Chain A
Amino acid sequence: MSSATLTRDPDTAAPPARRRPLRPARVVLHVFLAAVAVGWLFPILWAVLTSLRSYEYTATHGYVSLGGWTLDNYVTAWRTAEFGKHFLNSVYITVPAVLLTLFLASCVAFVIARFSWKFNIALLGLFTAANLLPQQALLIPLFRMFTEIPLPAFMSDSELLYDSYWGLILVNVAFQCGFCVFVLSNYMKALPHELYEAAMVDGASVWRQYWQVTMPLCRPALAALATLEVTWIYNEFFWATVLMRTGDKFPVTSSLNNLRGEFFTDNNLVSAGSVLVAIPTLVIFFLLQKQFVRGLTLGASKG
């Protein structure tokens, strides 16, 4: 049954009986959901509206007013924070970090789910708990470590793990692995064992079982995790600011701080910058939304 669940398309699998004409209960449901959705969106829309207004106007008339409409904030934000350059930096960090996280986490998850040996629980604990540790607390030891680890000049102009993308990628991978191992191992445990039986009969090596049997089946889960991880790693700004010293190498979320003044901050401008920064994560979310909801089955389909 579980294999059937895995391949079924939730959209078409719904029994026809559930598509009924509108009943009162349904109307209530829609009204409720719509109210919640609007309630959820409202604060964000309010901020987006603010980003479209000039600071001079809102400073004089307060935010609960209308007027002062302008697109200048977006233009200024893009230029002041040099988003063009910093978006690219974010890509350099986010893409390899997400891919590496998923690859390494799926390896561990596969071993944990596929084989039963005594270290399994310890391993799972080690990874999951790593996700729970307060990152700020590890800053100083990590910083010291990074200033001691040399890199060849062609990898980083700092010649250290400190102030290099490599260091940043590794830190992100290390901190995100835990959650992915936790989710993927749960997911993989739910995969039917007959698959491996068949693979073993074929004489498939462990690597082929992982790469050709397990991974394709995990595609939805991987897509879902990819979306979450892109969001998290992309929005991460803490490590970038402490493990880097060159402002030009900062990812876009860290460069957002350039819009804040030493004393004076034009909040409308920051708001516009934040909207710009949010766009890539939104695009990723919309692109993968279908995969996402179908994907994060998290092994719940054991039935």
Chain B
Amino acid sequence: MSDLPLIQADRAVPPPAATTTTRGRGRRLRLLSGTDRVVITLMVLVPLLLVVGLVWLPAGATVLLSGTNWDGIGPLGEIDWVGLKNYDDVVNIYPPFVPAVQNNLLWLAALFVVATPFGMFLAVLLDKELRGSRFYQTALYLPVVLSLALIGFVWQLIYSRDQGLLNALLGSQTDWYGDPNVNIWAVLFAAGWRHVGYIMLLYLAGLKGVDPSLREAAAVDGSSEASTFFRVVFPVMRPINIIVLVVTVIESLRAFDLVWVINKGRNGLELISALVTQNVVGEASRIGFGSALATIMLVVSLVFITLYLFTVMREDRR
């Protein structure tokens, strides 16, 4: 990487329509000075080494370990290779795996269909010049800031079968956390509660960046507020829409902490990441088996990443 090729400066980004510029449209090749090359190399290389060394290298090791039955104890030399046995076990004799996959998909669907749009909707409402907007923002964002210990307890207070607020108010005896047909929905509600604030904030920030004159122009045309949003604002927000989308996918794939703090991801609350943790972290130390689960998760993540990059690349080519 030290011998950088001729750097192509000036990406082919179309110039903003309103600016009159003398800049040419074509790509110009410019020879950078030696110092500049060193600086660029360092700027990329240092973070790259860190991320490759501390994230990708261990990730590679995890893939390798998924072919072993290692228990995490003793020298690496004593590791036995068992081939694809762990994957076979995951699929065939490990009861929580299928529910975990289903729950992850459900999680993605719930966030994608309900929580993310609701967060975006709230952001649009809050984008108006409102009195008390800061208060609303803070209230919605608070769940994102609070530590997990508190969040877990907050929902225990509400969902507890014997002493929870919900059953007291409804006069019911629903086992919100224990009934495997109910608890995933209860948890999804809590997850949505956190997710909405996060999305609201990201989207609100994006909306603040939209040029108001666009909206005014549309308003002059006599468009309704809703149609202004969908026809004018929404398309302009493309980059942030992508961010929100990616964040939603990330959050649902990595979803973990809520179910972990409730019952360590068991009994109806299985999620792949929780299964990985149950097997790898803690006393269980089924490193090989857990790594197989992690590798499956890795592959799924990479599918989404590739899709995202593909979109970005197409965008850049245009």
Contacts and interface: CB of A to CB of B under 8 A. Distances in A.
Interface string B214-242: 10100000000000000000001111100
A46 B202 contact: no
Interface residues on B, range: 35 or more
A164 interface: no
A231 B13 contact: no
Contacts of A174: 50-51, 53-55
Interface stretch (B90-98, B143-151, B172-180): B143-151
B250 to A, nearest CB: 6
Contacts of A4: 211
Interface in A11-38: 13-15, 18-19, 29-30, 32-34, 36-38
A62 B138 CA distance: 30
Contacts of B240: 298-300
Interface in A47-80: 47, 50, 62-64
B39 interface: yes
Contacts of B26: none
Interface residues of A, number: 116
Contacts, number: 349
Interface in B19-38: 19, 21, 23, 27, 30, 32-33, 35-36
Nearest to A192: B16
A137 B19 contact: no
A159 B33 CA distance: 41
Interface string B56-72: 11110110010000001
A271 B51 contact: no
A284 to B, nearest CB: 9
Given A186-B243, A242-B281, 20 more contacts: A37-B140, A38-B139, A63-B157, A63-B165, A126-B56, A129-B305, A130-B51, A132-B302, A137-B276, A140-B61, A140-B72, A141-B61, A205-B33, A205-B35, A205-B36, A281-B145, A285-B141, A296-B201, A300-B209, A301-B211
Interface of A: 1-5, 10, 13-15, 18-19, 29-30, 32-34, 36-38, 40-41, 43-44, 46-47, 50, 62-64, 104-105, 107-108, 110-111, 114-117, 121, 123-134, 136-142, 144-145, 170-171, 173-175, 177-178, 181-183, 186, 189-190, 192-194, 196-197, 200, 205-207, 210, 224, 231, 235, 237, 242, 253, 256, 267, 270-271, 273-275, 277-278, 281-282, 285-286, 289, 292-303
